[in-house]
Amino acid sequence: MSTKTEVSLIVEKNWCKGCGICVAFCPKNVLEIKNGKVNIRDLEACIQCGQCELRCPDFAIYLGGK
Amino acid sequence: MPSQLVKEYFRTENLPHIWCPGCGNGIVTRAIVKAIDNLGLNKDEVCVVSGIGCSSRASGYLDFNTIHTTHGRALAFATGIKLAKPNLKVIVITGDGDASAIGGNHLIHAARRNIDITTIVFNNNTYGMTGGQYSPTTPTGDKGTTAPFGNIDMNFDLCELAKAAGATYVSRSTIFTANMLIKQVENGIKNNGFSFIEALTICPTYYGRKNRKGEAVDMMVYLKENAINIAAYDKLPKEQREGKFVIGEIYKSKRPEYTEEYQKIIDSFSEGV
Ligand SMILES: Cc1ncc(C[n+]2csc(CCOP(=O)(O)OP(=O)(O)O)c2C)c(N)n1
Ligand code: SF4
Ligand code: SF4
Ligand code: SF4
Ligand SMILES: [Mg+2]
């Protein structure tokens, strides 16, 4: 069941350098590093705070959609 | 597919960028772009000028009028651009070495003139591009390629320097407090005069490794834990200030702006004809 249909969390895997910054500062533990790249492990937990997008040095994760 | 923001303001054909994994430069660059977007500026009215260094490569990724100049001279180019086209919003992107070592003289005089330029210093406490030599902002005792036994120089407080030299907007933030940085860039651009914004950022590859600061995340945590807002810092007893640094809007004032004063001289002659 998803109530978060308006905005989605998008990853540009080719640009991700696996630094782990987004993983470390996500307040809801949504993200992980898998095979050297970011991976969304628990989308349901995402509160769309945008902190991952704010601090990703590679513009590789962001809230988008609509 | 990149985000709307990135699509709108970046030369996406040049991405992904060249910076190392975990380098803070991308966070600062995005913050600048976000501030420009928040202000709703027309892209053609913005000119981004940078010097030389890892940080200065940011201009090449941005889809405004951009010019990647020579080491230390971004402010000299920017001054010329602003005088020729005073209506442009001129933004200077520079590193701690670029701005305060080779370019230190340009910095103090641009501040003294209060010319309407917004300067954002990407301060990673080192010369990243050339392999981690110490810079004027490398803390005393820290290591660099050129200071294998520790830096014996006192490091500059860039904000105090800019303030003393005459800047009319002076602020500092970190890449952890990136939202604050965005707001500061907005306010800096809005200030009609010389705005100086110090963005504390990280170079995990050289400064981090040489000084055993850990990975990018550890360096971010350090910024998070040791940055103190100016209001709180002022109330802090001296002994608790050790190792902490101020973030926030440090100084604001009003003084005549250089290109406007220059225009008055020009007008005084044309009136006489
Ligand atoms: C006239 C001149 N002197 C020296 C250099 C070599 N050089 C290139 S970048 C740099 C320092 C860059 O440090 P900083 O401005 O802090 O940028 P960072 O790479 O750390 O972002 C130096 C000394 C140069 N390119 N030109
Ligand atoms: S938007 Fe917030 S909660 Fe969602 S993944 Fe990003 S940091 Fe985590
Ligand atoms: S912050 Fe960006 S580059 Fe770093 S792991 Fe997350 S998505 Fe990848
Ligand atoms: S050398 Fe340092 S400043 Fe340069 S891109 Fe790598 S991490 Fe960033
Ligand atoms: Mg530097």
Share of chain A above pLDDT 90, in %: 86
Helix-, strand-, coil-residue percentages of chain A, each rounded to 5: 20, 25, 55
Pairing of the two strands A7-11 and B89-95: unpaired
**Beta strands in chain B, from DSSP E residues, in sequence order:** 46-50, 65-68, 89-95, 117-123, 169-174, 195-200, 227-229, 245-252
Which residue is closest to A58 within chain B, CA to CA?
B26
pLDDT in tens, B44-82: 999 999 999 999 999 999 999 999 999 999 999 999 999
What Cα–Cα distance (Å) separates residue B232 from each residue in A41, B111, B123, B171?
Answer: 38, 27, 23, 15
Level-2 CATH architecture, domain A19-65: 2-Layer Sandwich (3.30)
B29 vs chain A: nearest CA distance in angstroms?
A: 9
- Parse chain B into domains and list their residue ranges: 4-272
CB contact under 8 A, B217 and A14: no
DSSP A37: E
Q: Is the pLDDT of residue A66 over 50?
A: no
Which residue is closest to A57 within chain B, CA to CA?
B26
pLDDT number for residue B166:
98
Instruction: Provide DSSP, B38-53.
Output: HHT--GGGEEEEE-SS
Mean pLDDT of B148-176: 98
pLDDT number for residue B1:
86
Residue B212, judged by CB atoms within 10 A of its CB (0-12, 13-18, 19+), counts as: exposed
Can you tell me the distance from the alpha carbon of B190 to that of B35, in angstroms, rounded to the nearest whole number?
11
Instruction: Provide DSSP, B168-223.
Output: SEEEEEESTTHHHHHHHHHHHHHSSS-EEEEEE---IIIIIHHTT--SHHHHHHHH
pLDDT in tens, B84-135: 999 999 999 999 999 999 999 999 999 999 999 999 999 999 999 999 999 9
CATH class of B4-272: alpha beta
Length in residues, chain B: 273
DSSP B66: E
Distance B53 CA to ligand 5 centre (A): 7
pLDDT in tens, B231-266: 999 899 999 999 999 999 999 999 999 999 999 999
Q: Residue B162 is encoded by which pair of tokens?
A: 């800019």
- Per-residue confidence band for A4, with pLDDT thresholds at 50, 70 and 90: very low
Q: What residues contact residue B259 under an 8 Å CB cut-off, 6+ apart?
A: B82, B83, B86, B115, B116
Distance B23 CA to ligand 3 centre (A): 11
B203 and B125 in contact (C-beta within 8 Å)?
yes
B133 and B144 in contact (C-beta within 8 Å)?
yes
Can you tell me the distance from the alpha carbon of B32 to that of B27, in angstroms, rounded to the nearest whole number?
9
